[in-house]
């Protein structure tokens, strides 16, 4: 099995900055009238971009602690 890089979060963050998609998930949560964490918990099993963004938001939130 290939060894994974320990800096995957930094690489993802750089990609988000380059694409200019920062804040898209938070804006969707605000439109729904929910906090970012509550919105992520609700949509973490969704498919597509919303599900991916929700899982990434939860990963970032858990790594911060």
Q: pTM for the full model?
A: 0.73
Closest-CA residue to 51 (of 40, 36, 59):
40
pLDDT score recorded for residue 7: 78
Other beta carbons less than 10 A from residue 1's beta carbon: 3
pLDDT score recorded for residue 13: 78
| Secondary structure of 8-39 as H, E, C letters | HHHHHHHHHHHHCCCCHHHHHHHHCCCCHHHH
Residues of the chain under the 70 pLDDT cut: 1-5, 20-21, 64-65
pLDDT score recorded for residue 42: 96
pLDDT score recorded for residue 3: 66
Helix (H, G, I), strand (E, B) or coil at 43: helix
């Amino acid at each position: 099995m290939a060894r994974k890089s320990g800096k995957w979060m930094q690489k993802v963050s750089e990609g988000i900055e380059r694409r200019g998609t920062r804040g898209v998930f938070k804006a969707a949560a605000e439109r729904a009238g929910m906090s970012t964490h509550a919105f992520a918990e609700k949509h973490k099993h969704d498919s597509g971009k919303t599900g991916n963004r929700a899982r990434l938001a939860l990963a970032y939130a858990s790594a911060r602690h």
